[in-house]
Amino acid sequence: MFNRADLTAEVVLATMIALIVSTTIHEFCHAWAAYKLGDPTAARLGRITLNPIAHFDPLGFIGMMMLAAGFLAIGWGKPVPVNPNLLRGHRKGMAITAAAGPLSNVIIATALVIPLRFGNVELTGFADTLVSRFIFVNLLLASFNLIPIPPLDGSKILTGILPNFWYQYLAPMERYGFVIILILIVMGGSTLQQMYSPVFSLLSDVIVGGTPL
């Protein structure tokens, strides 16, 4: 995910800032979408906020630090609790709530690229590094979370849009999804990379274009 040969203290710091802020917005959007669709669970727990502390997960934060330092790892924020039975549309509502996270990352990356790509804005120093890391991290978060393996958002989106017939087969995977991801990481991570790379490349081509990161 990150080339350790290219890492400097500045890049590591910028990547860590991008991971914390982008993950916070990602989780906030899950909570906000769930609330708008009728589930107040996350709202009652104070999760509709842009305060990073509310979305802090100790193990996930350690994963972020390892990832920023160039190690093969995954990081995450505290999962947003959602009750599908309270959502309008139930499983379809769950799919919309799940999609809100990756969509927020796409929007962040797009918003940062627009002035660089079309406004002839030139950044230098740490500002250039920080914006570049923000764009890269958000494209990575969006594409990685769309992998259809629980507990990633892609699995919830998939179960929400597929016919009811498939739900009985996909739902049990929730118990084993995180273990599957850990096994794939232990195996070297190449399989995971192959899963998210097509979406990452597509988003990068469409959003970033020829803008250097």
Residue 5 pLDDT: 58
| Reported confidence tier of residue 3, pLDDT bands at 50, 70, 90 | low
Task: Count Cα neighbours of 175 within 13 Å in the Cβ-side half-sphere.
Answer: 3
Query: Which residues are designated catalytic?
Result: 27
Residue 210 pLDDT: 63
Place of tokens 């399989």: 191
The residue with greater pLDDT, 179 or 112, is 112
Residue 165 pLDDT: 74
57 burial level (CB within 10 Å; 0-12, 13-18, 19+): middle
- Average pLDDT, integer, range 41-63: 97
169 burial level (CB within 10 Å; 0-12, 13-18, 19+): exposed
Q: Tell me 58's DSSP state.
A: H
Token pair listed for 116: 């660089």
- Average pLDDT, integer, range 18-30: 98
| Reported confidence tier of residue 95, pLDDT bands at 50, 70, 90 | very high
Closest alpha carbon to 102 in 138, 136, 142 = 142
Amino acid at 102: P
pTM of the model: 0.92
Tell me: pLDDT of 164 over 80.
no
Tell me: pLDDT of 1 over 60.
no
- Taking residue 100's Cβ as centre, other Cβ atoms within 10 Å add up to 22
Residue 178 pLDDT: 83
The CA-CA-CA angle for residues 197, 201, 123, to 5°, reads 120
- Average pLDDT, integer, range 126-151: 95
pLDDT mean across residues, the chain: 91
